[in-house]
A and B are shown apart, each in its own frame.
Chain A
């Protein structure tokens, strides 16, 4: 575990922002922090960044309790992000990099490399106010990862980027993971969560309502619905499924028929298959797993 929070509580003047939140982030994983607006994600992220302190609870980083020098091992791209408008891009990037503990020389060297990689060398002497939003976002991303932190925290990293740059960023994030960095990733874009994340935590109304490996969660939240494409006699198939299964749908396709069924309880797929296989030819068989989007909406709606 690179990061662990234990029973974090944070109370603001008139609302409880975090109520006993514990998460465990495994090393070299991409960890999604999900939740509706105002759930407390940003507060948790700020606590991990030591921007605010919890009222109670502990944060452990890399095996020890979080302390001041850990800021050098963490990179943070906040959701509300900007740059000094009147300052030149290069100077500004140098300043931010040096605040993260890089020496002047190292900062300049790795900045040049990254500027080349992101094809932004030409902006070095431009003022930030001359850049577009997307350009500024690229600079911020570079500055966040420049000091090779062990833990990276991205809050809505893709907002403001065009699809080409979103891809560029995704690839960089996956590269960073490959190199051993751990990434905490907060977003409302569930498609990118499914695409990138290994683990997630869903925070709703200041509480951790769901944590775990993403595939496992999706599987567990399945409603035991299966889709069978087959050729053969529908009636016989229906007979075989009688009792334990509810048939939701059955329709003619071009070369086969498609049937959707719901099991009344969790069942071994092989048992189901053995029942079907007797009388019809199976073209395609799959379990319908809910998307993160469905799970998110279901959990948040149910909690109302």
Chain B
């Protein structure tokens, strides 16, 4: 046991000290913050310089109703269009807006002249204002009040989805939010299993290719080394997740004023997710799912000599998790399909699929059964991995075939 602790310590410390770990740990929350804050900041920052736009209204319909907004100022001009067009800079005009006359006497052709290309912001502003002025005029012509029109176009119909649980309590549910929660949890597990599983594989290969393995296993049993490695890397994952959680929470609180709306909306939507069950299952599935895949990747690592040889064997680990990922996406749409049920029972896909199902409500016995299957498979695979590992790590020179790996299982130890 003392030796496993030593291995855990080494695996943990060498990883946490790595530059890539430190960078990732800091960069992810920073990126998160940037993604959340920058768009809000950008929209509040506007070009400060006032922009004057001359309005030449041949019809006399627009001039009275067009309104200044922000830094854009509309000025009604009576001078002829041509002299305005040619003296833009001199008159300090950004653009000239010309409402052309036509036979029907209606707003139809609008021309905007400017020296620089017109900014999208201003174009939108103008086109919105003019369209609404035109609409007002039309409504007046048909004698319809604007409120009536709104009702015709947007009949006020209220749709709610309501879930009835076993106790008969009715709860409003937000299917979209549920899907989002399901996907986020699933993707998180997918990333952890995938990234850190491959780290295990790399670390096994490193010990083989640097030829230190024989020195180590003359002091420690291969099983202890493997378990120490898996647990050590798991602690790295946990450390990173905790740091991320803390930093992201801090960012949220610091920027709370910015997100007050978003936060209250999220908490409102998510409140009908069974949070307790979700959190506990998330942690359990994360741990067992990681352990299962970690032992799988340890097998792959022990069966090869260098990383270039891993590609084919790596499929053993990659394929099931990819399948799990695609089932998960499907399940978020149809949480009650047979695919969802079986996907959440089969141990290699269950960490992803079951988590995607839980927000939509899953009977407790199904969760317990699925976790039991997962835990049992993990124990079986650790046992198999340990047997393969102790033979594999001493095999140099050639890539082992699947048939050989199965033979290793039978060697005595």
Q: Chain A interface (Cβ within 8 Å of chain B)?
A: 13, 46, 49-53, 55, 68, 71, 74, 76-78, 80-87, 95-96, 98-100, 140, 143
Query: How far in angstroms is the closest Cβ of chain A from B403?
Result: 10
| A residues near B212, Cβ cutoff 8 Å | 81-84
Tell me if A99 and B6 are in contact (CB < 8 A).
yes
Interface centre among A49, A74, A99 (most CB of B within 10 A): A99
| B residues near A85, Cβ cutoff 8 Å | 206, 210
A-B contact pairs, 23 of them (CB 8 A): A13-B407, A49-B218, A50-B218, A51-B214, A52-B413, A68-B221, A71-B219, A74-B218, A76-B214, A76-B215, A76-B218, A77-B215, A78-B215, A80-B211, A81-B215, A83-B210, A83-B212, A85-B206, A86-B14, A98-B6, A99-B6, A99-B216, A100-B219
Main secondary structure of the interface of A (DSSP, over half): loop
Interface centre among B10, B219, B404 (most CB of A within 10 A): B219
| B residues near A68, Cβ cutoff 8 Å | 221
Main secondary structure of the interface of B (DSSP, over half): loop
Q: How many residues of B contact A (CB 8 A)?
A: 24
Query: How far in angstroms is the closest Cβ of chain A from B32?
Result: 30
Q: In the complex the two chains form, what is the Cα distance from A27 to B6 in whole Å?
A: 32
Nearest-neighbor residue (CB-CB) of B203 within chain A: A84
Nearest-neighbor residue (CB-CB) of A83 within chain B: B212
Q: In the complex the two chains form, what is the Cα distance from A13 to B404 in whole Å?
A: 9
Given contacts A13-B407, A80-B396, A82-B210, contact A95 B217 (CB under 8 A): no
Nearest-neighbor residue (CB-CB) of B18 within chain A: A86
Binary A-proximity of B372-410 (CB < 8 A = 1, otherwise 0): 000000000000000000000010100000001001000
Query: How far in angstroms is the closest Cβ of chain A from B372?
Result: 32
Interface centre among A51, A55, A74, A81 (most CB of B within 10 A): A51
Nearest-neighbor residue (CB-CB) of A68 within chain B: B221
Q: In the complex the two chains form, what is the Cα distance from A51 to B396 in whole Å?
A: 15
Tell me if B214 and A95 are in contact (CB < 8 A).
no
| B residues near A81, Cβ cutoff 8 Å | 211-212, 214-215
Residue in contact with B14 in the complex, picked from A13, A51, A55, A87, CB distance below 8 Å: A87
- B3 beta carbon closer than 8 Å to chain A: yes
Given contacts A51-B214, A52-B413, contact A84 B219 (CB under 8 A): no
How many inter-chain residue pairs (CB < 8 Å) link A and B? 64
Given contacts A95-B10, A99-B6, contact A53 B412 (CB under 8 A): yes
Residue in contact with A71 in the complex, picked from B211, B218, B394, B404, CB distance below 8 Å: B218
Query: How far in angstroms is the closest Cβ of chain A from B285?
Result: 32
Tell me if B219 and A99 are in contact (CB < 8 A).
yes
Q: In the complex the two chains form, what is the Cα distance from A82 to B6 in whole Å?
A: 19
Q: In the complex the two chains form, what is the Cα distance from A52 to B407 in whole Å?
A: 15
Query: How far in angstroms is the closest Cβ of chain A from B388?
Result: 14
Tell me if A53 and B413 are in contact (CB < 8 A).
yes
Given contacts A13-B407, A80-B396, A98-B6, contact A55 B215 (CB under 8 A): no
Q: In the complex the two chains form, what is the Cα distance from A143 to B212 in whole Å?
A: 12
Q: In the complex the two chains form, what is the Cα distance from A49 to B413 in whole Å?
A: 13
| B residues near A52, Cβ cutoff 8 Å | 394, 411, 413
- B220 beta carbon closer than 8 Å to chain A: yes
Q: In the complex the two chains form, what is the Cα distance from A81 to B208 in whole Å?
A: 10
Q: In the complex the two chains form, what is the Cα distance from A84 to B7 in whole Å?
A: 13
Nearest-neighbor residue (CB-CB) of A80 within chain B: B211
Nearest-neighbor residue (CB-CB) of B207 within chain A: A84
| B residues near A53, Cβ cutoff 8 Å | 412-413
Tell me if B206 and A84 are in contact (CB < 8 A).
yes
| A residues near B412, Cβ cutoff 8 Å | 53, 55
Nearest-neighbor residue (CB-CB) of A12 within chain B: B411
Give the top 6 A-B pairs by smallest Cβ distance, nearest first.
A82-B211, A78-B214, A99-B219, A76-B218, A82-B210, A49-B218
| A residues near B407, Cβ cutoff 8 Å | 13
Residue in contact with A84 in the complex, picked from B210, B220, B411, CB distance below 8 Å: B210
Query: How far in angstroms is the closest Cβ of chain A from B20?
Result: 12
Q: In the complex the two chains form, what is the Cα distance from A140 to B218 in whole Å?
A: 13
